[in-house]
């Protein structure tokens, strides 16, 4: 097959391709870049928001399916499994494997791209099914790994070590492995003897960011801010590893009543204790803290009270500063978004940033676990000196485009496809 004239049919496989999670977003970017070389993408998952004409939805492939929930409740936190449990795992895996055959057959798939399903065992039978399917067909595979099971303490005690060794990740001559950071690359090599290519998360830096249109122009007024208020954006969920207390501390030390700290997303999945702590801390530090998750959604729409909701992309252009004081991130998509929208960022030196991102030469105030006077002085200068701010964000945009743009991803994917198929 002449790769350039007809391209490949690429099959993406995951538990879910829907919404704004990292796997769904990054896989869509990969599909976009693959399309430039005439490679057509097809989708297999248990939950999908992709076009039905190019996708196959298998409900049992979703990690929230009742049968998978039954299995998950019995394999984690214990070291022994029953004969019945083994039987149920095998049964689901065999069924899913038959649907993979159907998927590959239906769309004439030439290359399989498992997205995180051979990485984190949220859905053990699907990982087993994909592994056996690869062994039986020798289909070319690019396995994209976002977060491994050994990075999550809840998977450390389990009754399925044999399956984890076999399928997380799978190994074979027809498989190329891709990781998103250097630490994962080192651990994969150390623990499994598997080499991998590092492809970080990317962003379409080659296209200019959208400017606020008529719809988004009133965002500040809608959340009660005036034009001369300083909008400091924390564009994350409210979970403890995001280190939001540092953002509150920073705004407190700026000691400027015009500074408003705005948090875009909700708490929820890890409880509300952390949110209450942040509210109390903001009160003590005399910081104007605003939660606007009820006004943010994946799409522009009206809420139950008839008010407009905005997307995260509507908000970035209004921000004067982004705070990103995380203690841990697998990569840090919000960081790339801030660079893309040319907003200055204050960052905490989390390990992946220190190892992978900092050496690239970005210019930004960096804290090392706590807010110092130096960081406060730097932020004051960014907020008051527009020339200094502009040179900083323009520099960061160019560096990000070089290392984290679509062209960097295109080069890596071409290399992988050539090594698997022999096609240029």
Whether 290 and 374 map to the same domain: the answer is: yes
150 within some domain: yes
248 within some domain: yes
CA distance 409 to 228: 39
Whether 198 and 342 map to the same domain: the answer is: no
Which DSSP state fits 195?
A: -
Whether 137 and 7 map to the same domain: the answer is: yes
> Residue 89: phi, psi to the nearest 5?
-60, -45
CA dihedral 69, 70, 76, 77 (to 10 degrees): 120
Whether 146 and 115 map to the same domain: the answer is: yes
Tokens read off for 360:
């690239």
| CATH for 167 | 3.40.50.2000
CA distance 188 to 198: 11
Query: Which pLDDT value is given to residue 333?
Result: 85
Whether 288 and 374 map to the same domain: the answer is: yes
Structural domain boundaries, residue 313: 219-401
CA distance 268 to 343: 27
Whether 308 and 253 map to the same domain: the answer is: yes
Using alpha carbons, list the distances in angstroms from residue 382 to 322, 340, 363, 379. 12, 17, 11, 5
> Residue 133: phi, psi to the nearest 5?
-60, -45
315 within some domain: yes
Tokens read off for 242:
């995001």
- To which residue do tokens 């899913």 refer? 96
Whether 41 and 166 map to the same domain: the answer is: yes
Whether 273 and 331 map to the same domain: the answer is: yes
CA distance 298 to 20: 7
Query: Which pLDDT value is given to residue 164?
Result: 97
How far the first Cα of the chain sits from its last, in Å, is 11
Whether 226 and 255 map to the same domain: the answer is: yes
Taking residue 152's Cβ as centre, other Cβ atoms within 10 Å add up to 12
Whether 97 and 191 map to the same domain: the answer is: yes
212 within some domain: no
Query: Which pLDDT value is given to residue 2?
Result: 41
Tokens read off for 397:
């945009």
Query: Which pLDDT value is given to residue 424?
Result: 64
CA distance 226 to 230: 9
Whether 414 and 315 map to the same domain: the answer is: no
CA distance 131 to 137: 10
392 within some domain: yes
- Degrees, nearest 5: CA angle 128-72-43: 50
CA distance 416 to 260: 46
213 within some domain: no
Q: How many separate domains does the chain show?
A: 2
Tokens read off for 373:
């006077």
Tokens read off for 140:
């070319």
Task: Name the residue among 192, 157, 167 with its Cα closest to residue 81.
Answer: 157
Whether 77 and 182 map to the same domain: the answer is: yes
210 within some domain: no
**Residues in the chain with pLDDT values less than 70:** 1-5, 268-271, 424
234 within some domain: yes
């Amino acid at each position: 097959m002449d790769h350039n004239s007809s391209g490949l049919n690429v099959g993406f496989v995951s538990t879910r391709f829907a919404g704004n999670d990292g796997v769904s977003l990054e896989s869509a970017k990969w599909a976009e870049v693959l399309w430039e070389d005439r490679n057509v993408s097809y989708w297999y998952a248990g939950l999908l928001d992709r076009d039905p004409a190019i996708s196959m939805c298998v409900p049992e492939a979703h990690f929230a399916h009742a049968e998978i929930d039954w299995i998950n409740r019995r394999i984690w936190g214990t070291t022994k499994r029953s004969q019945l449990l083994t039987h149920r795992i095998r049964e689901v895996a065999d069924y899913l494997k038959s649907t993979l055959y159907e998927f590959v057959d239906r769309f004439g798939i030439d290359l399989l791209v498992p997205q995180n399903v051979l990485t984190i065992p949220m859905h053990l039978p699907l990982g087993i099914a994909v592994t056996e399917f690869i062994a039986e067909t020798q289909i070319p595979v690019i396995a994209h790994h976002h977060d491994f099971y050994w990075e999550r303490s809840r998977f450390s005690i389990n009754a399925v070590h044999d399956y984890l060794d076999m399928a997380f990740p799978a190994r074979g001559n027809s498989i190329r492995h891709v990781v998103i950071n250097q630490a994962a690359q080192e651990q994969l090599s150390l623990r499994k003897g598997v080499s991998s290519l590092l492809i970080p998360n990317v962003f379409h830096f080659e296209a200019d960011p959208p400017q606020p249109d008529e719809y988004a122009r009133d965002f500040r007024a809608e959340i009660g801010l005036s034009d001369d208020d300083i909008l400091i954006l924390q564009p994350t969920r409210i979970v403890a590893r995001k280190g939001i207390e540092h953002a509150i501390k920073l705004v407190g030390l700026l000691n400027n009543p015009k500074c408003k700290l705005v948090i875009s997303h909700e708490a929820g999945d890890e409880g509300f204790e952390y949110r209450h702590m942040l509210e109390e801390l903001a009160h003590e530090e005399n910081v104007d803290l605003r939660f606007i998750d009820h006004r943010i959604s994946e799409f522009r729409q009206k809420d139950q009270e008839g008010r407009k909701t905005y997307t995260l992309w509507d908000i970035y252009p209004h921000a004067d500063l982004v705070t990103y004081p995380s203690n841990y991130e697998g990569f840090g998509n919000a960081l790339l978004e801030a660079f893309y929208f040319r907003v200055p960022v204050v960052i905490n030196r989390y390990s992946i940033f220190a190892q992978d991102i900092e050496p690239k030469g970005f210019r930004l105030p960096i804290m090392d676990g706590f807010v110092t006077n130096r960081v406060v002085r730097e932020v004051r200068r960014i907020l008051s000196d527009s020339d200094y701010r502009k040179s900083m964000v323009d520099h960061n945009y160019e560096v990000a485009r070089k290392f984290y743009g679509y062209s960097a991803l295109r080069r890596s994917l071409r290399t992988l496809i050539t090594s698997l198929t022999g096609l240029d």
